[in-house]
Structure 1
Amino acid sequence: MPADLQPSGGGRARRAATTVALFALLTACGPALPPRGEVTTAESAPSAASAQPDVQAAAPVRLRIPDIGVDAPVAPLDVGEDNVLPAPDTNEGTGWWRGGPEPGERGPAVIAGHVDSYQGPAVFFRIAELEPGQRIHVDRSDGTTAVFVTTRLERHAKDAFPTEVVYGDTPGAELRLITCGGEFDTADRRYLDNIIVYAMLER
């Protein structure tokens, strides 16, 4: 991975989001990150709870969403030599984009997961059921837990993915959960949309 993808602290999101050109590959669920040199900003202002100075948080190790029955490991995802972010290696686990901030640091932490497979439902199968105000718990390697509150859920066609809003810098700590959704193209064996959950840090 290029060195400019690995700054620490809240500045990681700003530098990574404005200097990286890559695509995520998530069983064809891949949103593009901003092109090199593009300056991005978030669409929404943070709540008082999420507004905070830069902090260094530990890496995420587990994702828990009680309202939809998610209790899954989180593994780091790194960009490969082909500038592609691979999918999580299991349908039951999730993947955190290590080039962005850790959950709880300022900026948008991104966690992706599969919605299903030929074997049946996957970790984010029920993600579309999430509603504003429900909580997402991210356990970290130092034993702490970052708790986020969902603010909204969106579905976008893959050719209209809201890259700036998802990956753009934010004044506070936020979280994005991303998976596939919408209609399934049986010819290409891929979903046509992405589902995105937005959440802000509560504590």
Structure 2
Amino acid sequence: MPADVTSRDGGRGPVRFAATAAAVLAVTAACGPGLPPRGVVTSEGVTPPSLPPSVSAEADAQVADPVRLRIPAIGVDAPVGPLEVDAHNVLPPPETNEGTGWWRGGPEPGERGPAVIVGHVDSYQGPAVFFRLSELEPGQEILVERADGSTAGFVVARLERHAKDAFPTETVYGDTAGAELRLVTCGGEFAEQDRRYLDNVIVYAHRSR
């Protein structure tokens, strides 16, 4: 879906890519309201080897909605709210710079398939929730707290940065054998004329517990 995530600040169950591709095309639109540039993410994406076989690929059949995202390595401790695509099949950004948004049309974190959480990178007020997302490294932990008090743990597999007109839609939203997580924000160069970042930063993570 073109998704309007994530600044300048920015179906339940398994995702079936063939069924969702028309609605979920990419995270390509402007990341947020087009505010003055500040703290542009410039780190090139890193694509390290996949996680070792010891990482669990187990998945839960059905779990509660996510309510909080914690990433200790970069100091993220933020609420998670549901996001729905609009009439134009665009996933809007979270309403605040401090919170994150979960693509409700996909699986809940911990179910089979790629759960997708998006957040702003910055705003005219300063850094937003995913300002340091590009600093994550393979093996670092991501925790998603759910409405029933349970927590799903993930470990970072790799980071990538893609131009918005070359967003890896199938890789991000396509079905997977186990429970996975995608975190998406904006990055790269900020186009002053269009008031938007030109790239997306994507974190891929696998279920660890």
Q: Deviations over 1:10-62 (max 9, x none)?
A: 3xx116854542457787149xxxxxxxxxxxxx7994544336510111000
Aligned CA-pair RMSD: 2.3
Deviation at 1:184, TM superposition (A): 0.5
Relative to structure 1, the CA distance from residue 197 to residue 22 in structure 2 (aligned partners, 3 Å threshold; closer, same or farther) is closer
- Give unmatched runs, 5+ long, in structure 1: 1-5, 31-43
- In the alignment, the residues of structure 1 paired with residue 195 and residue 64 of structure 2 have an alpha-carbon distance, to the nearest angstrom, of 36
Relative to structure 1, the CA distance from residue 26 to residue 160 in structure 2 (aligned partners, 3 Å threshold; closer, same or farther) is closer
> Which residue in the other structure is 1:122 paired with?
128
Letter aligned with residue 185 of structure 1: A
- Richer in helix (by share): 1
- In the alignment, the residues of structure 2 paired with residue 46 and residue 18 of structure 1 have an alpha-carbon distance, to the nearest angstrom, of 30
> Which residue in the other structure is 1:14 paired with?
16
Q: Does 1:98 align with 2:101?
A: no
> Which residue in the other structure is 1:37 paired with?
none
SS in 2 for 1:85: coil
1:9–1:57 contact (8 Å) kept in structure 2: no
- Give unmatched runs, 5+ long, in structure 2: 1-10, 33-49
Relative to structure 1, the CA distance from residue 143 to residue 58 in structure 2 (aligned partners, 3 Å threshold; closer, same or farther) is same
1:180 to 171, 180, 186: 186
Number of aligned residue pairs: give it. Answer: 182
Q: Deviations over 1:107-131 (max 9, x none)?
A: 0000000000111100000001100
Q: Deviations over 1:86-113 (max 9, x none)?
A: 1100000000000000000000000000
2:71 to 60, 65, 75: 65
- In the alignment, the residues of structure 2 paired with residue 156 and residue 25 of structure 1 have an alpha-carbon distance, to the nearest angstrom, of 10
What TM-score does the superposition give when structure 2 sets the normalisation length?
A: 0.80
SS in 1 for 2:16: helix
What TM-score does the superposition give when structure 1 sets the normalisation length?
A: 0.82
Identity of aligned residues (%): 73
Q: Deviations over 1:126-153 (max 9, x none)?
A: 0011000000000000100000000100
> Which residue in the other structure is 2:4 paired with?
none
> Which residue in the other structure is 2:35 paired with?
none
Q: Does 1:145 align with 2:151?
A: yes
1:164 to 158, 167, 170: 170
